[in-house]
Amino acid sequence: MALRRLDFRGFAGNRRALRDALPRPADEQDRSSGAVAEIIAEVRADGDAALRRLTAKFDHVEPEEFRVPASEIRAALDRIPVALQDALDVAHDRILAYHAHESRSSVTGDFESGGISVRHLVRPVGRAGCYAPGGRARYPSTVLMCAVPAQVAGVEEIVLCVPPGPDGHIDDATLAAAAVAGIDEVYRVGGAQAIAAMAYGTESIEPVDVIVGPGNRFVAEAKRQVSGVVGVASAFAGPSEVVVIAGPDTPTELAAIDLLVQAEHGPDGMAWLITWSEAVAEAVEAHVVRMVQESPRRADLEATLATGGFAVLVDGPKQAFAIANIVAPEHLEILTGNAESLLAQVTSAGAVFLGPGSPASVGDYLAGPNHVLPTNRTARFASALRVDDFQKHIHAVTVSEKALKVLGPHVVTLAETEGLPAHAQSVRLRWPR
């Protein structure tokens, strides 16, 4: 499975022309919005009965109960290998340390000017819903990435939805991660129906205030449709993406494997190589072909690369980053010896990994920052999942008598200008007598 070759050497167009010339992500909304709307409507109307029908249809099992007993979650810790337990603990502690630092660095100071004081109050949401994908793979790491920042934010109740396996259960690694993270409730429900259940509630599942976590195009579209009913992080956390920028000094085998790291998640993702060396492009493509043939996840790799695998030839680093910033990838790897000096050219990416020794896989598991990242070009305006996604910011205002005397007339003037007499009168009635 070779990468599709795109040659932009000598391209003279401006940024808009370059953007229009690049392959665009498929319009997920057009492809899945109708099907997702039907699922959401079905769950809203029939609750648990709809979840049973949809779980049987999509996951081919019919759980007697959706909620996983707490004893089963705790028992998973004893069943997993010690090495996995240690890895979960290390990852959990590093993610916790990073997000706690992130939380402490937030702006929480008070403001005072001219007799008006404003306090900045940060309050957590009451109940957060986390989604971890299943099916093709298991993702205990995603459980940690979603739950830990919610805990740091102070969320009182954290719930997790995961698609059940063929036997109707959730695998031990995922449940063990839920135990490590201290998740309160786990449900064996997946897909758009899980998003609908968390948004609107069913007989088994209480509705949440915020939904986070990555998923396939149907999960992402469901989150888009329920946004506004619940909070949804601004990032479109859909199928996985990577852009690898390679120069003449890039180890080509490392570039190839890093393309496949994200491609092995399955269909609808993307894997882009951008280089100003035709020899590097050819060598990377040769490695990709060999690695795909040897991989136990060959079908998933081929499905991704068939629609989203590209090898882009450019004139040099400047053009490489111009393209990368338009693509705005979930993961951006700069696999050159001078990666640090090129970082200033990055304006849009979910996460950046600098140099041949910094694989995105480390970020996927335990670097600390979240691996729930913006996809589908939403890194133009969105960021990784953060503590702030589980918090509300409230300002509390106190007005002194002196301030009202000085500033009150201005409020009256503005209110009367806008034709709002009650606004003006509310100030007049408070003027010092």
Q: Active-site residue numbers?
A: 330-331
Neighbours of 53 (CB within 10 A): 15
Across 105-252, the runs of DSSP E, i.e. the strands, are 111-113, 116-124, 127-131, 157-161, 185-187, 210-212, 231-232, 241-246
Q: What are phi and psi of 354, to 5 degrees?
A: -100, 120
173 contacts 80 by C-beta, under 8 angstroms: yes
Pair 161, 204: CB distance under 8 Å: no
What is the Cα–Cα distance from 377 to 379, expressed in whole angstroms? 5
Q: What DSSP string runs through 246-291?
A: E-TTS-HHHHHHHHHHHHTT-TT-EEEEEES-HHHHHHHHHHHHHH
Residue 52: CB atoms within 10 Å: 18
Both tokens of 13, joined, read 């167009």
User: Are the C-beta atoms of residues 54 and 191 closer than 8 Å to each other?
Assistant: yes
User: Three-state DSSP class for 73?
Assistant: helix
CA angle 179, 181, 187 (to 5 degrees): 60
- How long, in residues, is the chain? 433
What is the edge-to-edge ordering of all strands in the sheet holding 391-399?
Answer: 111-113, 116-124, 391-399
Q: Which helix (H) or strand (E) holds 172?
A: helix 172-181
What three-state secondary structure class fits 62? coil
Residue 253 CB contacts under 8 Å (≥ 6 apart), including other chains: 287
Render the burial of 298-317: b for 16+ CB within 10 Å, e for the rest: eebbbbbbeebbbbbbbeeb
**CA–CA dist 113, 433 (Å, integer):** 23
